[in-house]
Amino acid sequence: MSNEQITENIAAPAEFRPEGAAAKVWEALTANPGVPITTIVEAAGVSRPTATKALTAFAEAGRAVRTHGGRNDQGRPLPDTWAP
Which distant-in-sequence residues (6+ apart) come within 8 Å of 14 by Cβ?
none
- Looking at the chain, the whole-number percentage of residues with pLDDT higher than 70 is 83
| Distance (Å, whole) CA 71 – CA 52 | 21
- How many whole angstroms separate alpha carbon 61 and alpha carbon 19? 15
9-54 per-position pLDDT tens digit: 334 345 778 899 999 999 999 999 999 999 999 999 999 999 999 9
CA distances (Å), origin 27, targets 16, 32, 62, 82:
11, 8, 16, 13
pTM above 0.85, yes or no: no
- Residue 80: which of 62, 71, 67 has the closest Cα? 67
Mean pLDDT of 72-83: 96
